[in-house]
Amino acid sequence: MIEFKDIAQKVTSGERITTEDARFLFDYPNVAEIGLLADHVRRRLHPEDRVTYNIGRNINYTNVCWVKCDFCAFYRPPGSSEGWTIPKAQIFEKIEELVAVGGDVERANEILMQGGLNPKLRIDYYEDLFSSIRDRFPQVHQHCLSATEILYIAHISKLSLEDCIRRLRDAGLDSIPGAGAEILSDEVRDVIGFRKDRTHEWLEVHRVAHQLGMHTTATMMYGHVETIDHRVEHLDLVRDLQDESGGLTAFIAWNFQPDSTDLAADENRWGGKKATGYDYLRTIAIARCFLDNVHSFQASWVTQGPKVAQISLKYGVNDFGSTMMEENVVSAAGTSHTGEMTLQEMERLIRDAGYDPVRRNTRYDILN
């Protein structure tokens, strides 16, 4: 029989916990105690009283997407009068605004550029865009696309996955975010986005990228149709991937934002109860204890709000994320915490939580 004290002993001694342990923790009533374990892991990996952040900007280059995921309120189908792909000159303007805030240190500024699966955009579009950004803005790290987008680019361009990622990398793509993971269970994916890539395909994109010398991140969007077993399965797959390739720099979790989505409108599939901040703290703390091989955990202030993000710093989180100028995808679903967070406000939130704010780059190298 599993007891909390046995799990605590494993965590404090640096022993790996099991999937059964993780399931037990999801049912354990005292979330504060789980938080203490997560904070222990955090301090073992990050003994300094500091929290990192980076200066970045979201750029959604197109909202055209044929997949029609039921949890997304951002996309517009091909042919829609509301669909758009922004011109390269406008992307440059957005990056110039970012650099004005973040300075000229090489690779110190991050652009998180993502869009939909637009059937008009093939590999040559992305090679031209990434190489143009690299040549014009050497101080910018291109943390772009999702596994779903990369799989589609490879498919529509008639390329193998490895050739596609290699060409994107050679054109200027520096790293790949973990977007599109949602819950890594085909049983869940069949409900919330049956046209999307399968679990093994998401994992393979990250595996191949790591083999090609690139770093990526892992994410989890929970609080929709998944069970606790699905959450644990997701964490187990992420841990296995990191054991295998070691290319994940960070883990980021957030809850499903239901407003304006087709999934939320269907009560037969979604129960109608949005996950709480309490559930977020429990989930992120368990993930920190379980993912003992992922060095950094990033707060999700966009979905949870700055106050819960501050509290999460005691639940295993060591990074406050990005200033995230111009967020569109989550805000389209109606969350109330979106919008630009200034550098000064982010540093104030970190200090008020009892830590020193320290700027990093996308690879988590300390800059100041």
pLDDT digits (tens, 9 = 90+) for 276-313: 889 999 999 999 999 999 999 999 998 889 999 999 99
Helical spans, DSSP H, in 103-173: 123-136, 147-156, 161-171
Tokens 């049912």 belong to which residue? 27
Phi-psi region of 268 (alpha: psi -120 to 50; beta: other; left: phi over 0): alpha
Who's near 200: CB < 8 A, 6+ residues apart? none
Establish if 140 belongs to a structural domain: yes
Q: What's the domain range around 225? A: 4-359
Count how many domains the chain has.
1
Q: What's the pTM? A: 0.91
Establish if 41 belongs to a structural domain: yes
From residue 336, give the alpha-carbon distance in Å to each of 120, 328, 343. 33, 12, 19
Establish if 14 belongs to a structural domain: yes
From residue 41, give the alpha-carbon distance in Å to each of 12, 28, 256. 8, 19, 26
Establish if 365 belongs to a structural domain: no
CA dihedral 68, 73, 77, 79 (to 10 degrees): 170
What pLDDT score was predicted for residue 189? 92
What pLDDT score was predicted for residue 331? 44
Establish if 366 belongs to a structural domain: no
Who's near 249: CB < 8 A, 6+ residues apart? 175, 215, 216, 217, 295, 296, 362, 363, 364
Establish if 137 belongs to a structural domain: yes
Bigger pLDDT: 268 vs 344: 344
Establish if 242 belongs to a structural domain: yes
Asked if residues 304 and 335 have their Cβ atoms less than 8 Å apart, the reply is: no
The CATH number of whichever domain residue 296 belongs to comes to: 3.20.20.70
Establish if 200 belongs to a structural domain: yes
pLDDT digits (tens, 9 = 90+) for 210-268: 999 999 999 999 998 899 999 999 999 999 999 999 999 999 999 987 665 555 556 66
Tokens 């269970």 belong to which residue? 185
